[in-house]
Structure 1
Amino acid sequence: MTDTPAATTATNSTTATDPAGPGDGAAEAPQPRRRPALSPSRAGDFKQCPLLYRFRAIDRIPEPPTKAQVRGTLVHSVLERLFALPRGDRSPDRAHELLAPTWDELSRESPEWAELFAEDETGPDGNAVGWLDGAGKLLDAYFDLEDPNRLDPEACELHVETELGSGVRLRGYVDRLDVAPTGEIRVVDYKTGAAPRAIGEAKALFQMKFYAVVLWRTRGVVPRQLKLMYLRDGQDLAYTPDEDELARFERTLEAIWSAILTAGRTGDFRPSPSKLCDWCAHQALCPAFGGTPPEYPGWPEPTGGEETVLDRAD
């Protein structure tokens, strides 16, 4: 798909799960409970290690954010704000100007992120100034891959949600959705993380197919292109799915959710040791490392698969 302008521009999406406002003079109505759902991050967790899924989706054990995760969130936020500007104003200089105020806002909302930096720490990411410079380099790499003045996305950071015929509810956030005047859809995802390329790419394609299924079921259109933009190394990957492939992937998601529900009934979320354990924050609680998980609290209601903003940054 070439860079063509979309017919409309938006930056956010609401869904039918949003609570209605209070009536005239009446007490505020209770907010509806959201049904348990599957997100691409939580589906990936279960595929990688069922116990990791439990720790994140059910026990909701806090994990310390990494500087790479927070930087990914910052870069995503800057790119979202960049596309809110009119064409012609989306320049590298303007993106760099957005860095500091965007970081100030994010760090006010999540003060623990600012605590990651010690003024006397050495290295390029040791303090906030050097770390911001690294974020600026990622933005420069973005402009090497694409001219944002050539397109107007339909949406950035778009919340998408649907329920399959089998009853599985899918929920996630798309970094950017481009829709051409001809109706062709392109799903764009920015990658800034430091995961090993082979593992990270497989995980990213799983995520993109997840979004493609949701968009196919909500809009009746198979996305023309799934585009991954790797800002760290200045490369991109484009993939074109077809309807048969998405139907098969849909069955894969249904199988994953069925396995999650089976484990959820019994609490039998077993660890699955792999090289990825080196990056896991929960080794002290994992039986594979001599730990003991907390007592199983039971299947969570009403959620069971929410993504965090750090999940979406990747």
Structure 2
Amino acid sequence: MSSIETQPRSVSQTQQYEECSWRFYLQRVERVVPRPAAWSHHGTAFHAVAEAFELSGRTMSEEEAVQLFSDRYSALVNKSLEVEPDTDRWLSAGRVGGGEDIERRYALGLEQVKHYVTDWADGHPTNTWSTPDGKPGLELYFMVELGGVRVRGYIDQLVDDGDGSVRPRDWKTGSMKSKFQLQTYGVAVRKRYGVEVNKADWYLAKDGRLSRPVRMDGVREEDVAERFAAMDAGVKRGDFPASPAFHCRFCDVSHACSFIQRVAT
């Protein structure tokens, strides 16, 4: 388990460990092959379009955006089908099957892309912040030390608020939002670039709008670091208790988990 003990941590690792550290163990130590989910490919393809659109200075056409989403989504789905061709074994939300969910999310993603690059963009001029060396704040990689733990991640967008402060923005196609994620981004940007971060938000593709701003001015580095340090210490101790609950229904490694039988579905 030496590699998982020494590798940098991330928001997704930490939240997964906190929710169910046995899932963390199965996926990241035992390397159980996860079941695919169309919602994951939907999110990845939408992110690819949003990044490309913003990098183009918002000059990318709706047709180009739609084609990019279609190409990226199809490639991801086809790759997963090679690993798991039985779509009944795919994860899906609601009462639809995996095959129906693939088609449904393709259509939904196309509508969300069209809205982002036309209606929403036209009504919301946005200046993407650039790092001191001129790199656009889009899918921006960071690595910082928090509480003695190396923490890494990618920030979807850093928006220049025009008052000397920078606003982390996360693009969401699903309904799950994490203040801890935004708080980590805010702390990381302050630490890495020495700029002020007073607010953060989400672009909610489901609703085609921005969330209410999340205040960052009161977020302390030590509070964010505490969660990473606790997770890191648990992994190094080899402490991976199971936490069976409702979230088991959406766990992509539940097929390899003996504890899944303890919860009713």
TM-score by length of 1: 0.65
CA offset at residue 99 of structure 1? Answer: 2.6
For residues 179 and 248 of structure 2, the distance between their equivalents in structure 1, rounded to whole angstroms, comes to 21
Contact 2:36 2:84 in 1 (8 A): no
Which residue number in structure 2 is paired with residue 162 of structure 1?
144
Contact 1:117 1:127 in 2 (8 A): no
Aligned mate of 2:185, from 211, 220, 245: 211
For residues 213 and 235 of structure 2, the distance between their equivalents in structure 1, rounded to whole angstroms, comes to 34
Matched, 1:234 2:208: yes
Which string of whole-angstrom CA distances, capped at 9 and with x for unpartnered residues, describes residues 269-293 of structure 1?
Answer: 10122221221133344453359xx
Aligned mate of 2:53, from 79, 82, 94: 82
Which residue number in structure 1 is paired with residue 68 of structure 2?
98
Q: Which has the larger radius of gyration?
A: 1
1:231–1:116 Cα change, 3 Å = farther
CA offset at residue 265 of structure 1? Answer: 3.7
User: Secondary structure at 1:59's aligned position in 2?
Assistant: coil
Which residue number in structure 2 is paired with residue 192 of structure 1?
173
Give 5+ residue unaligned stretches, structure 1.
1-33, 292-314
CA offset at residue 260 of structure 1? Answer: 2.8
Give 5+ residue unaligned stretches, structure 2.
89-95, 129-135
CA offset at residue 179 of structure 1? Answer: 2.5
For residues 83 and 164 of structure 2, the distance between their equivalents in structure 1, rounded to whole angstroms, comes to 40
1:173–1:246 Cα change, 3 Å = same
For residues 226 and 45 of structure 2, the distance between their equivalents in structure 1, rounded to whole angstroms, comes to 34
Larger relative contact order (CA 8 Å, sep ≥ 6): 1
Which string of whole-angstrom CA distances, capped at 9 and with x for unpartnered residues, describes residues 158-201 of structure 1?
Answer: 1111113x3111111111122355532121111112x4xxxx23
Q: Which has the higher helix share?
A: 2
CA offset at residue 228 of structure 1? Answer: 0.6
Identity, % of aligned pairs?
23
Contact 1:83 1:152 in 2 (8 A): no
Contact 1:228 1:237 in 2 (8 A): yes
Which residue number in structure 1 is paired with residue 131 of structure 2?
none
CA offset at residue 90 of structure 1? Answer: 3.5
Amino acid in the other structure paired with 2:194 = G
For residues 114 and 175 of structure 1, the distance between their equivalents in structure 2, rounded to whole angstroms, comes to 29
User: Secondary structure at 1:68's aligned position in 2?
Assistant: helix
Which residue number in structure 2 is paired with residue 296 of structure 1?
none
Matched, 1:246 2:219: yes
For residues 253 and 222 of structure 1, the distance between their equivalents in structure 2, rounded to whole angstroms, comes to 17
TM-score by length of 2: 0.75
Which residue number in structure 1 is paired with residue 121 of structure 2?
146
Contact 2:41 2:73 in 1 (8 A): no
